[in-house]
């Protein structure tokens, strides 16, 4: 199948993972600066130095034929204390970058929030406080006023499931809390922030399209006996976010389960679901892997996520590499929610580095990319309205608590010199973009 000419082809990054320059031009600390300092982990202090090197990175994107770039705006650069004074240098940075992308024929697709909450807001309760959602709405206004004349596609809050679960139930991400009730509470505020931002976008930039990027994990029961548990796991990762955003209601089965586990969801106020249910123009689909589920209570929840199935290919971080589940997810989203889809993230860890001749033979990524694009294309044949695909990631970058050891990039970044090298997968992707169809892999590509 050939993709439509207006199809968006690009790659994705986020500010804290690539920018560096954390103390430059008025940026204030975010919760990730704090978390990495306390945790002793690798930080985004330098990252890929994209803050300074974005023009060369944009040249690389243009050279590969990409026509879209999904990046995130750093709230602590633009409104350093979360609320109050706006930092003109922060706005200038993104102003120049957006212009620079457009000059190269690359559509800017900014995400308003990709996890770098200003520390000043965390000091006032962070996402456990409803006021943070209001602060996000005000910050959204600033971004709309500054960039809305050139940005036509907005993404709101990246992966609220990951923020709420890894940050507030499992303690693996900033701010490192471990409590299920807090996690559900925070998820509600993140959704509220999305809903408030949608309202601002509709009001101030009615011509723009907007949506929320969700981390979606299709669940598959390990056996027939695990079907109900698998549906509950789907409720946990997927429906708890899709249903309020697209139907204006939390799924009743999950609301009942959460009430049983953590008590009344009394932080949901009248009117919240109307705001959250402001119909978006698209859903951002972040797809990496599936979850295989068994009906066995684990870690406070009534199911267990099973390890990778024997014989199923895995990435170098151990995630099952299952393009079929991507296809099924896209078809299901079309069937159940009838919403246009933008693939805002898809990719995996393959750590190949340059060989003696400087070539990066990341064969695993190339194969996975081709198989996922074929799966996407088959889902489109089956009716899914897919607007574009931005691969995660453009560059090898800071994989949060995992540091720099996990490489997701189409472009290799040398940690000591910052030298960029397009990997074999990047060259393959360029050929797909040029052809407008999922071409064969050539030779030893």
Q: Residues in the site for ligand IFM, rule: CB under 6 A?
A: 14, 17, 159, 286, 345, 392, 399
Number of helices (H), then strands (E), belonging to the chain: the values are 16, 13
Q: Answer whether 48's CB lies under 8 Å from 135's CB.
A: no
Q: Cα(9)–Cα(107) distance, rounded to whole angstroms?
A: 10
Least distance (Å) between residue 14 CB and ligand IFM: 5
Pairing of the two strands 304-305 and 209-215: unpaired
CA distances from 67 to 30, 140, 143, 380 (A): 30, 25, 22, 20
- Which lies closer to ligand IFM via its Cβ, residue 295 or residue 352? 352
Asked whether 406 and 335 are in contact (CB, 8 A), the reply is: no
CA distance 129 to 233: 27
What span, in angstroms and rounded, lies between the C-alpha atoms of 271 and 247? Answer: 14
- What three-state secondary structure class fits 228? helix
Pairing of strands 153-157, 209-215: parallel
Of residues 231 and 392, the one with the C-beta less far from ligand IFM: 392
The answer to whether 155 touches 213, Cβ cutoff 8 Å, is: yes
DSSP 8: E
In the three-class reduction of DSSP (H, G, I as helix; E, B as strand; rest coil), residue 219 is classed as strand
Identify the burial level of 15 via C-beta atoms within 10 angstroms of its C-beta, where 0-12 means exposed, 13-18 middle and 19 or more buried: buried
> Of 42, 177, 320, 345, which residue is the catalytic one?
345
If the CB atoms of residues 87 and 111 are measured against ligand IFM, the closer one turns out to be 111
Question: CA angle at residue 311 from 396 to 441, to 5 degrees?
Answer: 50
CB of 340 to ligand IFM, least distance (A): 20
Closest to ligand IFM by CB, 19 or 345: 345
Count CB-CB contacts under 10 A for residue 404.
17
**Nearer to ligand IFM (CB atom), residue 17 or residue 153:** 17
Cite the DSSP H helix spans in 19-83.
Answer: 31-39, 50-63, 75-78
Q: Where are the alpha helices (DSSP H) in 235-311?
A: 240-247, 252-262, 272-276
CB-count exposure of residue 441 (10 Å: 0-12, 13-18, 19+): middle
Query: Nearest distance from residue 269's CB to ligand IFM, in Å?
Result: 29
| Nearest-approach distance from CB 267 to ligand IFM, in angstroms | 25
Q: What is the DSSP letter of 56?
A: H
- Minimum Å gap between C-beta 86 and ligand IFM is 25
Shortest distance in whole angstroms from residue 344 CB to ligand IFM: 9
Q: Roughly how many angstroms between the first and final C-alpha of the chain, as a whole number?
A: 22
Minimum Å gap between C-beta 288 and ligand IFM is 6
Closest distance to ligand IFM from the beta carbon of 294 (Å):
24
- Tell me how far apart the alpha carbons of residues 191 and 105 are, in angstroms, rounded to a whole number: 33
CA-nearest of 364, 442, 434 to 66 is 434
- Choice between 33 and 159, CB closer to ligand IFM: 159
Question: Closest distance between ligand IFM and the C-beta of residue 315, in Å?
Answer: 10
Active site residue 159: yes
Residue 421: its H or E element: strand 420-422
| Closer CB to ligand IFM, 80 or 213, in the complex | 213
Is the Cβ of residue 136 or residue 250 nearer to ligand IFM in the bound state?
A: 136
Q: Which is closer to ligand IFM, CB of 231 or CB of 240?
A: 240
Local structure of residue 357 (DSSP, 8 states): T
Catalytic residue, from 42, 159, 177, 320: name it: 159
Catalytic (active-site) positions: 159, 345
């Amino acid at each position: 199948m050939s993709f439509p000419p207006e199809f968006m082809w690009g790659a994705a990054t986020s500010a804290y993972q690539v920018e560096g320059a954390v103390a430059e031009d008025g940026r204030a600390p975010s919760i990730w600066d704090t978390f990495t300092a306390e945790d002793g982990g690798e930080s985004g202090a330098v990252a890929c130095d994209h803050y300074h090197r974005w023009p060369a990175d944009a040249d690389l994107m243009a050279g590969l034929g990409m026509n879209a770039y999904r990046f995130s705006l750093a709230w602590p650069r633009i409104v350093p204390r979360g609320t109050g004074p706006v930092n003109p240098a922060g706005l200038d940075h993104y102003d120049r970058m957006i212009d620079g992308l457009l000059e190269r024929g690359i559509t800017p697709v900014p995400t308003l929030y990709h996890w770098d909450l200003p520390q000043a807001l965390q000091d006032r309760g962070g996402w456990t406080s409803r006021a943070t959602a209001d602060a996000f709405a005000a910050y959204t206004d600033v971004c709309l006023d500054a960039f809305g004349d050139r940005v036509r596609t907005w993404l709101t809050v990246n992966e609220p499931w990951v923020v709420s679960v890894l940050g507030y139930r499992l303690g693996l991400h900033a701010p490192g809390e471990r409590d299920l009730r807090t996690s559900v509470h925070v998820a509600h505020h993140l959704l509220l922030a999305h809903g408030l931002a949608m309202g601002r976008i509709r009001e101030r930039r009615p011509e723009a399209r907007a949506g929320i990027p969700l981390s979606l994990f299709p669940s598959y029961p390990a056996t027939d006996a695990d079907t109900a548990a698998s549906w509950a796991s789907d409720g946990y990762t997927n429906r708890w976010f899709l249903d309020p955003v697209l139907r204006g209601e939390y799924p009743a089965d999950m609301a009942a389960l959460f009430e049983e586990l953590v008590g009344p969801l009394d932080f949901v106020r009248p009117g919240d679901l109307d705001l959250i249910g402001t119909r978006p123009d698209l859903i951002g689909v972040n797809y990496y892997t599936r979850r295989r589920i068994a009906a066995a209570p684990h870690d406070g929840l009534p199911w267990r996520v099973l390890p990778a199935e024997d014989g199923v290919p895995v990435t170098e971080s151990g995630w099952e590499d299952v393009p079929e589940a991507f296809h099924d997810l896209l078809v299901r989203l079309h069937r159940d929610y009838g919403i246009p889809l933008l693939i805002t993230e898809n990719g995996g860890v393959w750590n190949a580095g340059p060989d003696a001749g400087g070539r990066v033979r990341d064969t695993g990524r190339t194969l996975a990319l081709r198989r996922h694009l074929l799966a996407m294309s088959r889902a489109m044949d089956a009716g899914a309205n897919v607007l574009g695909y931005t691969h995660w990631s453009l560059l090898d970058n800071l994989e949060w608590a995992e540091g720099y050891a996990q490489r997701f990039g189409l472009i290799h970044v040398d940690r000591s010199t910052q030298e960029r090298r397009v990997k074999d997968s990047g060259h393959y992707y360029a050929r797909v973009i040029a052809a407008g169809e999922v071409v064969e892999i050539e030779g030893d590509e």
